[in-house]
């Protein structure tokens, strides 16, 4: 059991009186300080960091007697190398309890039942970036320019946005199919209208979705809007279709429903354009105002925010209309600072809504697998017991031997090199013998190799009796020679027939079903004909893996399938290898 130690903190202690230049305690320091202060000291610990280089600092003196500690604290001084320093009560500071399993505080790892988390801060920041803390929408009018759309889709600052609403995107009608620029993106999923007009520009708005906009207790509908300018019929038709879509959306679910209409409405009004709107243009956006009034929508973009600008002209013709409940959770609706080359400004809207975490299923990079290393075989001239360690030892021995030989030929004998070469040769040869004997012991220990091992033994010696027992008769004698052994085996395994054999009579027989045996060539033909990178089955391995490893597993696969057919066993889930056709 440990002795009780009483710590006392000593301030303004000289570093040179306790530690040497390398930061270690000077020998004899504890005995000298014990005699100088008339105490029995156990150990000394410096509180200041050794690499800090401070000349004076604090340290802790551990005493073995309680009376000595009380005397030093009452006197408030301590003699250290001819200097008097002050003493205080030492209060150890204990940090929070850290769990190295979930990287949280308050408990230990052995009692933690949470999911294991990487302790590297880079991993935690990377995983934290996947969680979108707020719902963010960006809208932009691309003016049917592919460079604007390409610039927008390759902006790394938009990785935290949930949806991109694009008006007048760059899209072409090629062979009856709508082609956008780009056609796809690894971080976004495009959503285009189901019906396209037969014109140069088949669609006038589209969405790029990064995550599913479906929350636990409500649903959000995001619509990318484009209304043709100076066309009253198009405006009325668009407002009517939006009203019908929103009514169907709200009637089709019993939960809370929120609506976001973002895009280019191409209309002026005092409600969003401010007092600068001329009287001639006032009233052209009345259908939009009526839609807002009927459906309870609010415009989040601040009044007089300019969204379009050409030379010295500017106006507000882009809007962000949302339901009143969602407007209460809006945190910002401002112009995005990045320009992409359009005459319209991008508008970003942020809501105080937590978006569910995006989960990604991890896939094995099978294309990058070291197939050459997996398919590597030992050379035909190498023994089975040879290992890479023996090759490494051989190279080491060759290196030292060449070094010693070079010096010897130059007339400069180096005994150290000669000794090193001999030691390397001895280690190399000893390992060869050891590995060979170990391989032979493992080979003989396998019961299936006992008859093969007997072939390696020399004939005419007694050593064969140690591995293969002799053939003995029932009377205890030993059969000698091949003739006697054959006679004994024949009489044992094929005894004489009885003198009288009763007839068994006729028995019902069923005609055998013609079933040709499954051959290796048939299975291999199906494996090689299958598509290599098609979606894998329940085992998670595509056919390419079976093709690469076929020279290793082909006999096992044939044995498994043959055994299934012989036993007439078929799994209920069709659990056959996908590569078998």
| Per-residue confidence (pLDDT) for residue 129, from 0 to 100 | 42
Share of the chain above pLDDT 90, in %: 28
What pLDDT band is residue 213 in, cutting at 50, 70 and 90? low
226-259 burial by CB neighbour count: b if 16+ within 10 A, else e? Answer: bbeeeeeeebeebbeebeeebeeebeeeeeebbb
Whole-number Cα distances in Å, 122 to 78, 117, 126, 166, 578: 48, 12, 6, 34, 39
Q: 244 or 126: which carries more pLDDT confidence?
A: 244
Distance CA 68, CA 154 (A): 73
pLDDT at 546 over 80: yes
For residue 288, the tally of other CB atoms under 10 A from its CB is 25
Is the distance from CB of 259 to CB of 291 less than 8 angstroms? no
**How many residues can be counted in the chain?**
581
Share of the chain above pLDDT 70, in %: 86
Q: 146 or 457: which carries more pLDDT confidence?
A: 146
pLDDT one-digit tens code per residue, 297-335: 999 999 989 999 888 889 999 999 999 889 999 999 999
What pLDDT band is residue 233 in, cutting at 50, 70 and 90? very high
pLDDT one-digit tens code per residue, 512-536: 778 788 889 999 999 999 999 988 8
**Cβ neighbours of residue 385 under 8 Å, at least 6 residues apart?**
435, 436, 438, 439, 440
Q: What is the mean pLDDT of residues 45-72?
A: 75
Is the distance from CB of 87 to CB of 97 less than 8 angstroms? no
Is the distance from CB of 55 to CB of 121 less than 8 angstroms? no
pLDDT one-digit tens code per residue, 160-208: 888 999 999 999 888 888 888 888 887 788 888 888 887 778 899 999 9
Q: What is the mean pLDDT of residues 68-78?
A: 77
| Per-residue confidence (pLDDT) for residue 579, from 0 to 100 | 42
From the centroid of its chain, how far is CA 112? 22
Q: What is the CA angle 79-82-85, rounded to 5?
A: 40
Range with the largest mean pLDDT of 121-130, 270-279, 466-475: 270-279
pLDDT one-digit tens code per residue, 350-363: 998 877 666 666 77
| 367-381, 416-430, 457-471, range with the lowest pLDDT | 457-471
pLDDT at 439 over 50: yes
pLDDT one-digit tens code per residue, 111-125: 787 767 666 544 544
Q: Supply the mean pLDDT for the chain.
A: 82
| Per-residue confidence (pLDDT) for residue 104, from 0 to 100 | 76
Distance CA 534, CA 581 (A): 13
515-535 burial by CB neighbour count: b if 16+ within 10 A, else e? Answer: eeeeeeeebbeebeebeeeee
What pLDDT band is residue 571 in, cutting at 50, 70 and 90? low
Is the distance from CB of 85 to CB of 13 less than 8 angstroms? yes
Whole-number Cα distances in Å, 214 to 211, 217, 258, 293, 309: 9, 9, 10, 26, 35
């Amino acid at each position: 059991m440990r002795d009780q130690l009483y710590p006392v903190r000593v301030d303004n202690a000289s570093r040179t009186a306790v530690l040497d230049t390398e930061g270690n305690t000077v020998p004899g320091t504890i005995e000298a300080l014990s005699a100088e202060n008339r105490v029995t000291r156990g150990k000394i610990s410096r509180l200041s960091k050794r690499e800090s280089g401070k000349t004076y600092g604090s340290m802790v003196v551990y005493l073995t007697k309680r009376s000595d500690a009380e005397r030093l604290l009452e006197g408030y001084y301590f003699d250290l190398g001819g200097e008097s320093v002050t003493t205080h009560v030492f209060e150890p500071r204990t940090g929070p309890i850290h769990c190295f399993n979930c990287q949280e505080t308050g408990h230990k790892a052995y009692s933690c039942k949470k999911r294991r988390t990487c302790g590297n801060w880079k991993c935690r920041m990377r995983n934290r970036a996947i969680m979108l803390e707020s719902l963010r929408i960006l809208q932009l009018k691309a003016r049917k320019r592919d460079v604007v759309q390409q610039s927008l889709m390759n902006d790394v600052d938009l990785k935290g946005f949930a949806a991109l609403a694009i008006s007048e995107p760059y899209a072409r009608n090629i062979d009856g199919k709508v082609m956008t620029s780009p056609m796809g993106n690894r971080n976004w999923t495009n959503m285009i209208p189901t019906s396209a007009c037969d014109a140069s520009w088949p669609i006038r708005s589209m969405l790029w979705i990064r995550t599913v906009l479906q929350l636990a207790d409500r649903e959000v509908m995001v619509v990318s809007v484009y209304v043709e300018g100076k066309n009253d019929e198009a405006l009325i038709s668009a407002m009517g279709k939006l009203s019908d879509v929103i009514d169907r959306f709200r009637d089709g679910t019993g939960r809370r429903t929120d609506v976001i209409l973002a895009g280019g409405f191409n209309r002026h009004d005092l409600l969003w354009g401010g007092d600068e709107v001329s009287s001639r243009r006032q009233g052209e956006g009345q259908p939009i105002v009526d839609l807002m009034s009927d459906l309870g929508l609010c415009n989040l973009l601040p009044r007089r925010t300019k969204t379009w600008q050409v030379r010295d002209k500017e106006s507000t013709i882009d809007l962000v209309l949302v339901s009143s409940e969602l407007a209460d959770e809006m945190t910002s609706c401002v112009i995005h600072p990045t320009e992409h080359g359009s005459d319209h400004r991008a508008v970003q809207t942020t809501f105080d809504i937590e978006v569910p975490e995006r989960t990604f299923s991890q896939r094995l990079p099978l294309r990058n697998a070291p197939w050459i290393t997996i398919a590597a075989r030992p050379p035909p001239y190498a023994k089975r017991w040879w290992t890479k360690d023996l090759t490494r030892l051989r190279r080491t021995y060759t290196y030292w031997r060449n070094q010693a030989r070079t010096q010897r030929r130059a007339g400069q004998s180096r005994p150290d090199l000669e000794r090193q070469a001999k030691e390397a040769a001895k280690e190399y040869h000893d390992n060869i013998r050891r590995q060979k004997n170990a391989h032979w012991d493992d080979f003989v220990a396998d019961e299936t190799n006992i008859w093969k091992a007997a072939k390696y033994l020399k004939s005419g010696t007694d050593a064969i009796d140690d591995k293969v027992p002799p053939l003995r008769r029932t009377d205890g004698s030993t059969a000698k020679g091949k003739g006697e052994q054959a006679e004994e085996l024949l009489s044992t395994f094929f005894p004489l027939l009885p003198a009288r054999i009763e007839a068994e009579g006729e028995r019902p027989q069923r005609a055998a079903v013609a079933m040709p045996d499954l051959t290796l060539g048939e299975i291999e033909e199906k494996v090689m004909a299958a598509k290599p990178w098609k979606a894998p089955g329940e085992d998670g391995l595509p056919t390419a893996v079976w093709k690469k490893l076929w020279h290793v597993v082909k006999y096992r696969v044939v044995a498994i399938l043959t055994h299934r057919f012989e036993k007439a066993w078929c799994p209920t889930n069709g659990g056959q290898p996908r590569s078998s056709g």
